[in-house]
Structure 1
Amino acid sequence: MNQTLLTVDNLGKSYKDKQIVKDISFSVKKGMITAILGPNGAGKSTTIRSMMGIMQPDEGDVQYQGHPKQGVPHQKVGYLPEERGLYKNVKIMDIILYFADLKDYPKKKAKARALEYLKKFGLEGKDKVSVEELSKGMAQKAQFIASIIHEPELLILDEPFSGLDPVSQDVFKREIRELADNGTAILLSSHQMNLIEEIADDLLLIHKGKTVIQGSMEEVKEQYSNYKCTIVGENEASLFENLPSVQSVEQDGNRTVLYLEKDVHLPTWVTHMPQASIIQEMTIDRISLHEIFVGIATEKDLMKSGGGANHA
Structure 2
Amino acid sequence: MFSPRLKKLTTIILLAYGLAACSRPSGPSAAPTLEATSTPEAPTATPVPAAATVNGEIVPLAEYQAELARYQFAQAALGKSVGEADAAQAVLDDMIAQTLLAQGARAAGLSVTEAGLQSRIDALAASLGGADKLAAWQSAHGYDEVSFRAALKRAAEAALMRDKIIAEMPGTFEQVHVRQILLYNEANAQDILAQLKAGGKFDDLAATVDPVTRGDLGWFPQGYLLDANLDAAAFALQPGQFSDVIVTEVGFHIIYVIERGPRPLSPEARLVFQSRAVAEWVNERRAQASIVLSP
Question: TM-score, normalization: structure 1?
Answer: 0.28
Question: TM-score, normalization: structure 2?
Answer: 0.29
Question: Rg larger in 1 or in 2?
Answer: 2
More helix by share: 2
More strand by share: 1
